Amino acid sequence: MIKFENVSVLYPGAAEPALKNLSIHFNQGEFVCVLGKSGAGKSTFIRCINGLQPVSEGTVKWNDKSLSEMTPKENLEIRRKTGMIFQHFNLIPRMSVVQNILTGLFGYKKSYENLLGLFNSNERMSALEAIDQVELTVEPTRRVENLSGGQKQRVAIARALIQNPNVFLGDEPVASLDPGTAERIFHLLKETHIKRNLVSIINVHDVGLAKKFATRIIALKKGRLIFDGAPEKFDEKLYAETYNQ
């Protein structure tokens, strides 16, 4: 479904590429965790998947069609069907829980509807259903700035769910959470993944979480792929190589 062919990314002014000649593919139903030190290229990799980060060399394909060859309409459809969960949530603090979740529908709405906050009753009901799905026990009208880290993350996940995605991307989605909350969030992500038969690709620092929840682990080091395989095969030697220990 998603395929990288010899992908490299070099940022302006950088001495070394953030990604180096990366070739890999992902299929429906896989729950993939991406490991690596800070600066290994994980965020760049995730952002290349849906075209948020253009590639310098190589090709990213969805269903055998290159992102760079897609029409604007086709690219919009990719964005619509990709739920993205960010490390720092990317919520609007002064807006309510339900208003933030409804922003997940912006790709389906006209510009003036987004600007004026025009959502119909079915869309608002979908937002409330997403709140129930993520087990968020706060008033939908509560401002996001008054929520805890774990609650904000649930809002971010609900915003991704309302898009009805085929693909879930996570860029360190539990990095700012305590271990207990992080594990509960991963349980929620995995349950949602299974129910919807998604492709889920998630950057994570916690190797324990990756080995517990992933069906596949990949590891990056200085922009290169150094491991791609089953979680149980990511052993102490590979851990040391990945994290320079």
Residue 88 is encoded by which pair of tokens? 């720092």
Give the strand order in the sheet containing 167-171: 82-86, 167-171, 199-203, 31-35, 216-221, 224-229
Pairing verdict, β 57-62 and 31-35: unpaired
Q: Which helix (H) or strand (E) holds 63?
A: none
Q: Residue 193: its pLDDT value, please? A: 92
**Contacts with 146 (C-beta within 8 Å, 6 or more apart), sequence order:** none
Q: Residue 153: its pLDDT value, please? A: 86
Q: What is the domain partition of the chain in residue ranges?
A: 2-92+166-243
DSSP E strands in the chain: the ranges are 2-9, 19-26, 31-35, 57-62, 65-66, 82-86, 167-171, 199-203, 216-221, 224-229
Count other Cβ atoms within 10 Å, centred on residue 80: 17
CA 237, chain centre distance (Å): 28
Blockwise average pLDDT, block size 10, the chain, 245 residues: 96 95 97 96 95 95 94 89 87 95 89 87 93 89 93 90 92 83 87 92 95 98 97 96 86
The answer to whether the CB of 149 falls within 8 A of the CB of 176 is: yes
The answer, as to whether pTM is greater than 0.75, is yes
Q: Residue 245: its pLDDT value, please? A: 62
Q: Residue 182: its pLDDT value, please? A: 85
Q: Residue 243: its pLDDT value, please? A: 94
Angle between helices 149-161 and 179-196 (to 10 degrees): 10
Distance CA 75, CA 206 (A): 32
Q: Residue 89: its pLDDT value, please? A: 85
The answer to whether the CB of 213 falls within 8 A of the CB of 186 is: yes
Domain 2-92+166-243 CATH superfamily: P-loop containing nucleotide triphosphate hydrolases (3.40.50.300)
Q: Residue 17: its pLDDT value, please? A: 96
